[in-house]
Each structure stands twice: as structure tokens, then as C-alpha cells.
A = this chain, B = another copy of it.
Amino acid sequence: MSITLKDIASDAGVGMSTVSYVLTGSGVNKVGKETRKRILASAEKLGYLPNIGARGLSCGRTFMIGVLLEEQEFASSFYPDILQGLEHVLNQRNYGLLLASYSSAEELKAKCFYLLQRRVDGVAAFPGAWLDDLSPMQPLLEKQIPMVTMTRSFPGIPSIGIEPFVIGETAARYLVELGHRNIAYAGPESSPRRTGILSVLGKETCPTFGKLASYDFELGITLFDWIRSLAERPTAVVVESDIAAVALIRTACASGWKLPRDLSVVGIDGLDFGKISLPALTSVGQPTFERGEKTAELLFELIDGRKVDNFFFQPRMIVRESCCSLE
């Protein structure tokens, strides 16, 4: 079929262990100069490509890491960037990226077994927003597979992201500077993001809409109805995701509101995607590509047996057009 170490060995007239030493570089000053040259020439001539699978079997690694992602969220567009960051660092170490997506807890569990069968060296997990805990991932945890989570964090597993509290603070601080005081929040009641907002406002509470079931466009209608139903109308709203924020903008404009005059909107994620909205969405941004890169780096630390901590990026405001000054 394809060229193996043995083929090269016989072509160069040496034993195959010698070939292995030369080609992997592991026997760096074990092999004579002449022999090394001859082997390299043969390998080049025959177009040798190492069989990573076989290598893996032999040295107890597969040089692959698995990525678990929730289908709904995957579709929602900032994952490709993260994945590319991941892949970028992975490839530098000749590692591969195995995709595993899921849309329910059972499926997630099945994919964990799937990754175990493939003996991945590590796992980058995106736990879906609806996931209550990591119990479906038990199979992975039991076997102590190196793992890093993204978008969310769970006790005991290193995670990469932005401190939700800081996101809230950042958004609120920006709005307060523009003169807003009555700010609503569309997202879970219990979210630290909300706490961040409240801490900046120095308030105990604020209008909150927690039931962001899906991240769908239809959400815009729900959110707009909610805003309109509020007794004291907020001048600004911070929305849990960019998609929901854009959907809200769309619905409000379709209903005749003039944005941002009638309502300032801040999204979270900072996706490019927000640019096409009219007005274009102002959002609290997170580095995406870099996030993937960092994930890979932490994963390698874990694989090499070192302990790692959570890692946080600093959020930054991506100012576009969806907020106005009240002064």
C-alpha cells in the first residue's frame, strides 16, 4: 500500500530502528552522518509519510484531541473562529482535531464514549447552555482525560473565557458613561453578568428577562414585548447574546421604534455578525481565535502532566451604533 519504515530500511540497506531514529530525530547523536544522509535520501526518494496511527499505538498517544460542541451553538457562528485558533496551535505540534457534536445529554454521553474509543489525548468541551452539570461527561472524567471547557466553567475543570461578572461591569460602565441609569438585562436571573451590571449601577435589582430559551431569531419578538411591557421603560438593555440582540433590534425597528434613540442595545460576544444590523450592534467582545489558541495551549500543559488554572481574557467594548448618549 504505502511506503513504510521497512521499505526505507531495505532501500537504504539498514535496520528499521535506525530509520526510525533518524526520521523522528529521537536518536539525535546515535546515528552516523553517512547513514543518516542515506536514510534521509531514501525517505525523500520514496516519498515516505509516517503513519501517525501506528506511531500512536506504539507510544501510547493518538495525537488527536476531541472537540465537543453543542449543535445549536455551533451553528451560531463564533465557533468557527475558536476552532481555527485551536487547530492552529494543534497543528504546530502535529496534533489533529476530531469533531464531536451533540444536541442532548444522551448524545453527549455517547460522544464521550466515542472519544474514548478513539483514545483522544485531550478534550476541548463547549458545554451547551442548557447543560446543568457535567454528569453526561462522567466517562471522560473517570478516565481522567485532560479536558478544558469553554464558554462556561465547572468546578474542578480548567476553563477559558471571560469572567461573566466583568462582562456585566464592562457593559454597564459603558452605558452609565452615556448617561443611562435605567438598564434592563435579558439573561438568567442568577447570572454573574447581571450582578456585574447591578454593582456598577449600585442597585439591588433591575428589570430582568430570564427565559431566553433558545438563541433563535424569533426571540426578538419575545424580547420586544417584554421591553414594552415594563412599567418604567428602560433606556438601555444588555442582551445575553449577539443574535438575540440583533433580533431585538430588528423587531423594534419593524415596529416603528427609532433605535438607538428609543432604546440602546448592547450585545455580548462581539461577533462580526452584528455589523449587518441597522443600527449596527454595539457589543462586549471576546477574543475568539485567541481563545482557541489558549485552549490548545492549556490542553498541552495538561497532557504534559502539569496543573493549570482557569484562564480569563479581558473583555472589550466593540462600539458600533446601537447605543446613544442621553446627554
Contacts and interface: CB of A to CB of B under 8 A. Distances in A.
B96 A97 contact: no
A109 B100 CA distance: 25
A217 B275 contact: yes
Contact of A53 (B53, B243, B246, B247): B53
A116 B49 contact: yes
Given A96-B98, A101-B87, A246-B276, A62 B53 contact: yes
Contacts of A67: 99
B1 A60 contact: yes
A121 to B, nearest CB: 11
A1 B144 CA distance: 11
What is the oligomeric copy number?
Answer: 2
A54 B57 contact: yes
A44 to B, nearest CB: 14
A64 B118 CA distance: 10
A50 interface: yes
A113 B94 CA distance: 11
A203 interface: no
A278 B278 contact: yes
B143 A2 contact: yes
Counting chain A residues whose Cβ lies within 8 A of the other chain, the interface size class is 35 or more
B98 A98 contact: yes
A117 interface: yes
A118 to B, nearest CB: 5
A84 B97 contact: no
Contacts of A50: 117
Interface stretch (A73-81, A184-192, A231-239): A73-81
Interface string A80-113: 1101100100010000111111000000000001
Nearest to A218: B275
Contacts of A220: 276
Contacts of A243: 276
Contact of A75 (B64, B80, B96, B247): B80
Contacts of A101: 83-84, 87
A78 to B, nearest CB: 9
Nearest to A96: B98
A56 interface: yes
A250 interface: yes
Contacts of A74: 80, 83-84
6 contacts: A1-B60, A54-B57, A71-B80, A77-B80, A217-B276, A220-B276
